[in-house]
Structure 1
Amino acid sequence: MLITQAMTTNILSIGPAHTLRQAAALMSARRVGAAVVADPDAHGHGIITERDVMTAVGAGLDPDAEAVAAHLTRELVFANPQWTIDDAVDAMVRGGFRHLIVLSNGEVHGILSVRDVLRVWTKTSTGVAAG
C-alpha cells in the first residue's frame, strides 16, 4: 500500500513566529501531533511536534515567549508519495520519529503519522475499520 492511501491531507501549517503555546493550542484543536512549519525566509519546510513542545516546557522554557522557529526540526527525512507503508515505517524506525512529511516537487502533499500506519495495519489485518 502506498503512503498516499494512509496519510493525512488536512495539514496543519503554522509559521515560525508562532509561540509554542499557539502551536500547542492549534495542534490540540485539530487533534494532531505535528504541524508543518512554513518559513518563506528559510529553505524548505520544518516540523514541530508535541514532543518538541513538551521538551521545551519540561526544560522550564516559557511557551508564551518561545517561538516555534527555535524548537522545530529542520533536518527532516521527507517521504515520496510513491513510498509504501513499509518504506515509511523503515524510515521512521531508522530516524526515531513518528511523523513524515510527504513531499513531491517541493510541495507538501500530506503527513504520515504512526497513528495513520496503525489505522491502516489494523484495517488490513482485521478487515474491520478501527475506531
Structure 2
Amino acid sequence: MLVRDAMSTVVLTIGPAHTLRQAARLMSARRIGAAVVLDPDTSGLGILTERDILNSVGAGQDPDRETAHAHTTTDVVFAAPEWTLDEAAAAMSHGGFRHLIVLDGHGPVGVVSVRDIIRCWVRAGTRGARQDAGMLAG
C-alpha cells in the first residue's frame, strides 16, 4: 500500500502570521491535525501540528498572540505519493513525528498521519483475515 492510498487530500495551508488560535480553529473545522505553513518570504514549507499548539498553550502562551511562525517546524521530512506506508512509518518513527507533508511536483498534495497509516493497515489486515477465514470455511 502506498502513501497516496492513505493520505488526506485536505491540505490546510496557512501563513506564518496566523495566530495559533486561528490555526486551531481552521484545523478543528477541517478535522485535521496539521497545517502546512507557507512562508512567501522564504518560499519554504513548514508544518504546524496540534502538538505544537498544545505545547504552546500548556506553556502558558497566549494563542491569540503566538503566531504560526514561532511554532512551525521548518526542518520537514516530506513524503512522495509513491512511498510505501512502511517507508512513511519508518520516517515518522525515526524522526519522532506523526505527520508527513506529501509533495508531488512543486507543492503539497496531501498529508499523511500515523492514524491514516494505521487505518489502512487495519483495513488490509481485516481483508486478509476475512480471506483466510473464507479459505478455512471452504
Written as runs of structure 1 = structure 2, the 5 A alignment for 1:2-41 is 2-41=2-41
Where does residue 87 of structure 2 map in the other structure? 87
Where does residue 58 of structure 1 map in the other structure? 58
Alpha-carbon distance between aligned partners in 1 of 2:16 and 2:78, rounded to the nearest angstrom: 19
Alpha-carbon distance between aligned partners in 2 of 1:7 and 1:104, rounded to the nearest angstrom: 12
> Whose helix fraction is larger, Structure 1's or Structure 2's?
2
Identical counterparts, % of pairs: 59
Where does residue 134 of structure 2 map in the other structure? none
Give structure 2 stretches of 5+ with no counterpart: 129-138
Structure 1 residue 46 corresponds to structure 2 residue 49 = no
**Taking structure 2 as the reference length, what is the TM-score of the superposition?**
0.89
Q: CA deviation at 1:43?
A: 3.5
Alpha-carbon distance between aligned partners in 1 of 2:81 and 2:39, rounded to the nearest angstrom: 22
Where does residue 110 of structure 2 map in the other structure? 110
Give structure 1 stretches of 5+ with no counterpart: none
Where does residue 78 of structure 1 map in the other structure? 78
Alpha-carbon distance between aligned partners in 2 of 1:42 and 1:51, rounded to the nearest angstrom: 24
**Taking structure 1 as the reference length, what is the TM-score of the superposition?**
0.93
Alpha-carbon distance between aligned partners in 1 of 2:96 and 2:122, rounded to the nearest angstrom: 22
Aligned to 1:90, the other structure's residue is in SS state helix
Q: State the aligned residue count.
A: 128
Aligned to 1:82, the other structure's residue is in SS state coil
